[in-house]
Amino acid sequence: MTNIPRSVAELLAHARREIDGADAELLLAHALGKSRSWLFAHTEDPVGEDAHANFLSLLQRRVAGEPVAYLIGSQGFWTLDLQVGPATLVPRPETELLVELALARIPVDAVVRVADLGTGSGAIALSIAKERPRAQVVATDASPEALKAARGNAARNHIANAEFRCGDWLNSLAGERFEVIASNPPYIADGDPHLQQGDLRFEPAMALSCGPDGLDAIRMIVAGAPACLHAGGWLLLEHGWEQGEAVRGLLLDAGFVEVRTVRDLENRERVSLGRTS
Ligand code: GLN
């Protein structure tokens, strides 16, 4: 350890040789119990032994592929700070597109019922609930551990207009109707080699892959959603960038109208939507 540099700037330079620069800053700030911006004003400060050791162990785990969000225990999404752990998918920036499209269909001044299926950390449900305080948001997940995280995130972000239910997709919503149903379900094909690479290896398999073509969850949601939507209600689904055509086909076959797919910032087909007639 003696030849390893110990100032903030030196530790960052050391880490940047092995991992992404922003990740290095997040990990060092976490090890020091400071904010990322603190680092920039204290580049020459010496890093104490405990924080140093803690940082090196986080660095090693990051090099081995553990997602930064799991290492520091939180992830920013929309305007929220969400606690995340191995029971939940790490919310992705591209999912903000789904939130935007859902918000565009939820009036600010009306009491609208919204469902988020497979809520994980609560990212989608809580973003919508926060932006639309009059909406009544119901979030479901089959994993009790994920629901615990989502409930904790609601409390942490002072959100009271979201409730959480345990169940597969629409199971816990039987007999109820919503104006908007949104979901970012698992959509990677079982056995896809990406599942064995990078950060995905550390995330819950049930949040990532679903059936031989990855579309099993989406098929179930599309089939069940009409019974849980008011006439003219919207279903919005995030999916893989090569699945747009297939998802539009499923929505059309199920009788949805105004079906289309919206591209993400990387110009890839990412969210398909339709409304009941
Ligand atoms: N809805 C959560 C998110 O978008 C979890 C998605 C999932 O686990 N597939 O982050």
Q: According to the model, what pLDDT value does residue 4 have?
A: 57
**Residue 176 shares a structural domain with residue 217:** yes
Average of per-residue pLDDT values in the chain: 95
Measured CA to CA, the distance from residue 111 to residue 150 in angstroms comes to: 22
Pocket test for ligand 1, best of 80, 84, 88 (most atoms within 8 A of CB): 88
Establish whether residue 240 lines the binding site of ligand 1, counting it when its CB lies within 6 angstroms of any ligand atom: no
Q: Is residue 70 part of a domain?
A: no
pLDDT surpasses 80 at 2: no
Measured CA to CA, the distance from residue 115 to residue 217 in angstroms comes to: 16
**Residue 138 shares a structural domain with residue 258:** yes
**Residue 51 shares a structural domain with residue 101:** no
**Residue 158 shares a structural domain with residue 54:** no
The answer to whether residues 166 and 172 touch, using CB atoms and an 8 Å cutoff, is yes
* Residue 159 belongs to domain spanning: 77-275
Mean pLDDT of 105-109: 96
Q: Whose CA is nearest to atom 8 of ligand 1?
A: 207
Q: Is residue 71 part of a domain?
A: no
How far apart are the CA of 70 and the centre of ligand 1, in A? 15
**Residue 131 shares a structural domain with residue 244:** yes
Give residue 152's Cα distance to chain centre.
15
Q: Is residue 3 part of a domain?
A: no
**Residue 100 shares a structural domain with residue 197:** yes
Which atom from ligand 1 is nearest to the alpha carbon of 238? 4
User: Domain total for the chain?
Assistant: 2
Establish whether residue 120 lines the binding site of ligand 1, counting it when its CB lies within 6 angstroms of any ligand atom: yes
**Residue 49 shares a structural domain with residue 116:** no
Which atom from ligand 1 is nearest to the alpha carbon of 208? 9
3 confidence band (pLDDT: 50, 70, 90):
low
Q: Is residue 69 part of a domain?
A: no
Which CATH number characterizes residue 131's domain?
Answer: 3.40.50.150
pLDDT tens digits, 192-248: 999 999 899 999 999 999 999 999 999 999 999 999 999 999 999 999 999 999 999
Measured CA to CA, the distance from residue 57 to residue 104 in angstroms comes to: 44
pTM: 0.92
Give residue 263's Cα distance to chain centre.
18
- Angle value at C-alpha 121, between 196 and 265, nearest 5 degrees: 70
Measured CA to CA, the distance from residue 95 to residue 91 in angstroms comes to: 7
Residue 212 φ/ψ region, left for φ over 0, alpha for ψ in the -120 to 50 degree band, beta for the rest: alpha
Pocket test for ligand 1, best of 83, 89, 153 (most atoms within 8 A of CB): 89
pLDDT tens digits, 68-106: 999 999 999 999 999 999 999 999 999 999 999 999 999
Establish whether residue 91 lines the binding site of ligand 1, counting it when its CB lies within 6 angstroms of any ligand atom: yes
Q: According to the model, what pLDDT value does residue 5 have?
A: 56
pLDDT tens digits, 113-151: 999 999 999 999 999 999 999 999 999 999 999 999 999
- Lowest pLDDT segment from 2-16, 156-170, 212-226: 2-16
Mean pLDDT of 52-68: 96
**Residue 81 shares a structural domain with residue 57:** no
**Residue 180 shares a structural domain with residue 83:** yes
Establish whether residue 95 lines the binding site of ligand 1, counting it when its CB lies within 6 angstroms of any ligand atom: yes
Which atom from ligand 1 is nearest to the alpha carbon of 92? 10
Q: Which residues, including other chains, have CB under 8 Å from residue 33's CB and lie 6 or more apart?
A: 51
